[in-house]
Amino acid sequence: MHIYYLCLLFTALFSPWLSAAENTTFSRLDKVAHADALRVCIWPDYYSITYRNPKTQQLSGIDIDMANALGKDLGVAVHFIDSSFATLIDDITQDHCDIAMFAVGITLARKTKLRFSQPNLISGVFGITTKSNRRITQWSDIDKPDSVVAVAKGTLHEAVMKEKLKSAQLLILNTPFAREQEVQSGRADVFMTDFPYSQQFLTKSDWARRVSPPNNYPKTPYAYAMQPGDDDWHNRIEKFVRDIKKDGRLLTSAKRHHLEAIIVP
């Protein structure tokens, strides 16, 4: 037990140096094996993907399962590192974690900074409004002059909404659960999220109502993000993704979290 904490301490203190020092020589695969731990970045507000229940502090979600699976495949412990889409690129590039496993949408901007595995999920955009909202009953009601649309900072929705919205006011929020509060209090009409989040959110919030986009609305594939380079690591992760798709672990977990509709086979 002591040795374990010492190792942790060591890792925390020397890993940036180590990583920098051995960046060219060692694959992250080796580093993970050497550290005997896998650091996984997650967004703990992400329902169904990587959600930490505030009442129990337990993590749950499909990528928690997959992270653990990966740790198991690699034969190492898994350490979850809190992250968010606003801090994702930094957290990866600055080596706060070996991999981001919280349904990271593959966007053009991110691909310039990050290396993605093959996607394992794919989701469109969904709006959440209150049940009592009389103005927004369908997707087309959203982009109106009086409307206020809330998005979380750094998410792919921010970029999407910036691109799509013409008339409505976009409200970019960067505090946890700010989107929900704005919508609930009536200061915003709708906030944008994806399938996994909306699904879980609707089950928890009796006031919320989902507004679905038309079928031809663009969808975004989700994958695991890593530092660019390091083909060994990437290959190993790719292998892992193939494995979980092939051996059904992905599907099993997806079913548990009601996500089987959006997995990428």
Interacting residues with other proteins (CB under 8 A): 130-135, 146, 148, 175, 178, 181, 184-187, 189, 206-207
CB nearer other proteins, residue 144 or residue 256: 144
Is the separation of the CB atoms in 196 and 257 below 8 Å?
yes
CB nearer other proteins, residue 18 or residue 148: 148
CB nearer other proteins, residue 50 or residue 193: 193
Minimum distance from CB of 27 to other proteins (Å)?
45
Joined together, the tokens standing for residue 80 give: 């979850």
Is the separation of the CB atoms in 22 and 31 below 8 Å?
yes
In angstroms, the CA 24 to CA 31 distance is 12
Minimum distance from CB of 187 to other proteins (Å)?
6
CB nearer other proteins, residue 177 or residue 217: 177
Minimum distance from CB of 135 to other proteins (Å)?
5
Q: How many CA atoms lie within 13 A of 17 on its CB side?
A: 5
Minimum distance from CB of 4 to other proteins (Å)?
38
In angstroms, the CA 236 to CA 239 distance is 5
Minimum distance from CB of 179 to other proteins (Å)?
12
CB nearer other proteins, residue 118 or residue 169: 169
Strands 208-211 and 45-46: unpaired
Burial of residue 247 (CB within 10 Å: 0-12, 13-18, 19+) is exposed
